[in-house]
Structure 1
Amino acid sequence: MAECGGLDDFRVGELVQVRCPMVPARVAEVTNFHVFVEWPWGRVDPASKFAWNGQRAFSRNASSIDWIASLFRTDPEPWHLSPGQECHVGIPERVMQVIDVYHCDPPRDIGRLPRPHTMLAVIPADHPEYADLEDACDTIEVPSAAPLTLTRV
């Protein structure tokens, strides 16, 4: 669960420091472009209209916007992973800029539980040029199954 008071008060343009401890995970699949990791947090939402497979994809291209803008990281990096390999996933401490805030009533169906009631679209603070790129952000879900810590900067 994300730890931060006043999440409903976040505003576009604010900076947040995000972190999540690294935990063990297993590589499920590797393609030319992505590594799929069995996600250690959340569970499939049986009432969802989406069929989440319990995995998260990571770009294998270190210079791709998908990798640079992603909150979560793998250790080792995705381009060093192979199927069946153990790795760690989490968020090393990062400063992100809020570029949009979504309030979801009812909570949003995302295919897994818990369903978030607030979603913060964020980009790395050191890449403000990503703010205008449609697919260059990541999302902080509240509540989150991952043990996120959020702090206003």
Structure 2
Amino acid sequence: MGSVLRISAAAVEVRVARVDARTVYIEWPWLSPDPGSRSPWDGLMGFPRDPDHSDWRNTPWRIAPDTSELSAGDVCIIGVPATEVRVAAITHYDPPADLGWLPRPRWMLDLVPLEYGTDPEAGYGFALDTDEPVKMEIVSHTS
């Protein structure tokens, strides 16, 4: 905990499944719904339509064009720009966590972007054992 990482993911095309007044729902290509889950998931990830919404501090993913311009059926680009984050927590699940999707994660990192380090509401969990193509590099270790 406390180590600084640089995370990134190459941009890929994804489809917008639906939109409402506040959220754009993207078909998530790297996870699949877990039919045996107690927490059903529909295969969609939601992102704020407002580009200035504070929820953008809770995801590393960025979308182009701007989410306020997207409609259901559109194709957009999603990726993770190079971002330095601090490891806030490391959680091991045994058995793997039932979060509604497959694969069920065994390891989760809680990450906080350095630029929002003083915001107690900022940050996101990242499962280490999924197919999400996020690259992680160690920038510095804590002693």
**Is the counterpart of residue 127 in structure 1 residue 116 in structure 2?**
yes
Secondary structure in 2 aligned to 1:92?
A: strand
The offset of 1:112, in angstroms, is 0.8
Q: Distance in 1 between matches of 2:47 and 2:105?
A: 22
Specify the alignment match of 1:21 in structure 2. 10
2:92–2:106 CA contact under 8 A, matched in 1: yes
Instruction: Tell me the percent identity.
Output: 32
Partner AA of 1:46 in structure 2: P
Q: Distance in 1 between matches of 2:8 and 2:95?
A: 27
2:57–2:123 CA contact under 8 A, matched in 1: no
1:113–1:145 CA contact under 8 A, matched in 2: no
Specify the alignment match of 1:87 in structure 2. 76
Q: Distance in 2 between matches of 1:55 and 1:68?
A: 19
Give me the TM-score of the superposition, normalised by structure 2.
Answer: 0.90
Q: Distance in 1 between matches of 2:21 and 2:110?
A: 27
Q: Distance in 2 between matches of 1:26 and 1:129?
A: 34
Specify the alignment match of 2:129 in structure 1. 143
Specify the alignment match of 1:8 in structure 2. none
* Structure 1 unaligned residues grouped into runs of 5+: 1-10
The offset of 1:69, in angstroms, is 3.1
Give me the TM-score of the superposition, normalised by structure 1.
Answer: 0.85
**Is the counterpart of residue 97 in structure 1 residue 83 in structure 2?**
no
Specify the alignment match of 1:118 in structure 2. 107
**Which ranges of 4 or more aligned residues in structure 1 deviate by more than 4 Å?**
none
Q: Distance in 2 between matches of 1:138 and 1:61?
A: 19
Q: CA RMSD in A?
A: 1.3
Q: Distance in 1 between matches of 2:42 and 2:57?
A: 24
**Is the counterpart of residue 72 in structure 1 residue 67 in structure 2?**
no
Question: What are the equivalent positions in structure 2 for 1:36-51 lying under 5 Å apart?
Answer: 36-51=25-40
Specify the alignment match of 1:108 in structure 2. 97
